[in-house]
Amino acid sequence: MSLPSIVAARRFDPAAHVPFFIGDERVGWIRRGDVALLARWPDVFDTDASSVRLSRSFDTVDARSAALGAVIGMLAADGRIPGWRDETYAIRNDFDAAPLAFIERAASRFFGTMTYAVHLNGIVEYDDRAPQLWIARRSDTKATDPGMLDNVVAGGIGWGTGIEATLAKECWEEAGMTPDLAARAVRGGTFHVLQTLPEGTQAEQIFVFDVTLPADFAPRNQDGEVGEHRLARIDEVARWIEEGALTVDASLATLDCLLRRRWIDEDACEGIASIYTAPAL
């Protein structure tokens, strides 16, 4: 039986959505019930029963971004796009691809566009006992998954910031890790999530990292986005994953760590291969 996080990461019904195109490239998924909302702007979108397309009259990145930005602002004012972040995300199907447009982060799930994130497993190793993991509890005021358990560090990658630079920034903001400590992180695997959420579609690529932390290090949140940190045994963390106490993203990132270090049997992770790319050797 698959773990809840693995099932959730693949819980997406294409029939309940229509593809969103910019030019000839599908860049997202829009819920069928939201197509009528976008039909209010026929100068911006070409809509029908099978797709939503950004008008080809917007033929530059700036023009596309401005058109989408105006619509997104009005949808947010109507309460259709919650959790405004004031963060810019690029619309691109590959992390290294050139952006087709820029949008407010909160709109990415409404349009189902690809996003990217980093997650860090904080490991403490001992000479005389089993290793443990630092686990965070998300603030109750977070826009997504408030109060749930999470990795010690996790965050979305905004436009203009690389993977490692985002990791270093989040390490300080979420756990008070110095740049030198963050630089010790090593790359793990990559997960590909496509799941339906109340605010739309999460289409996300998650880059996983591990860092071995000193036994006397205690994470200290700097930005108010973490309610608390706790040091947990491997069996405790495995149980939280089984119970769905960790966010889907954090569960997957933690499973990557447990599998690579052979702290968990791969047979317990049925279906993970369909959403996971192992790190290059």
Which DSSP string corresponds to 115-181?
EEEEEEEEEE--SSS--EEEEEEE-TT-SSSTT-EEESEEEE--TT--HHHHHHHHHHHHH---HHH
Residue 48 identity: D
pLDDT of amino acid 43: 97
Within 183-247, residue ranges assigned H as helices are 234-243
> 4-8+115-277: CATH homologous superfamily?
Nucleoside Triphosphate Pyrophosphohydrolase (3.90.79.10)
Point out the least confidently predicted range of 8-17, 30-39, 171-180, 259-268. Answer: 259-268
Would you call 44 helix, strand, or coil by DSSP?
A: coil
48, pLDDT greater than 70? yes
Span 210-255, pLDDT tens digits: 999 999 999 999 998 899 999 999 999 999 999 999 999 999 999 9
1, pLDDT greater than 80? no
Going from N- to C-terminal start, the domains of the chain cover: 4-8+115-277, 14-113
Q: Are 121 and 91 in contact (CB under 8 A)?
A: no
Residue 123: CB atoms within 10 A of its CB come to 18
The DSSP annotation for 47-62 comes to E-SS-EEE-TT--SHH
The confidence band for 115, taking pLDDT boundaries of 50, 70 and 90, is: very high
- CA distance linking residue 22 with residue 32, whole number of Å: 18
Of residues 254, 196, 205, the one with CA closest to residue 7: 196
Q: Tell me, what DSSP letter sits at residue 224?
A: S
**Beta bridge partners of residue 206, listed in sequence order:** 117, 191
Burial class of 19 by CB neighbour count within 10 A (0 to 12, 13 to 18, 19+): middle
Q: What pTM value is reported for the model?
A: 0.95
Within 84-222, residue ranges assigned H as helices are 108-111, 163-175, 179-182
Q: Are 212 and 113 in contact (CB under 8 A)?
A: no
Q: Tell me, what DSSP letter sits at residue 165?
A: H
Span 187-213, pLDDT tens digits: 999 999 999 999 999 999 999 999 999
- The fold of the 14-113 domain, in CATH, is Transcription Regulator spoIIAA (3.30.750)
The confidence band for 281, taking pLDDT boundaries of 50, 70 and 90, is: low
Tell me the average pLDDT across 72-94: 95
Span 128-187, pLDDT tens digits: 999 999 999 999 988 788 999 999 999 999 999 999 999 999 999 999 999 999 999 999
The confidence band for 280, taking pLDDT boundaries of 50, 70 and 90, is: confident
Tell me the average pLDDT across 66-92: 96
Q: Are 195 and 202 in contact (CB under 8 A)?
A: yes
CA 121, distance to chain mean position in Å, is 15
Stated length of the chain: 281
The confidence band for 66, taking pLDDT boundaries of 50, 70 and 90, is: very high
Radius of gyration of the chain (CA): 20
Q: Are 124 and 132 in contact (CB under 8 A)?
A: yes
Q: Are 256 and 273 in contact (CB under 8 A)?
A: no
Q: Are 135 and 150 in contact (CB under 8 A)?
A: yes
In whole angstroms, how far apart are CA 136 and each of 133, 215, 236, 246? 10, 17, 13, 9
User: What is the rounded average pLDDT for all residues in the chain?
Assistant: 95
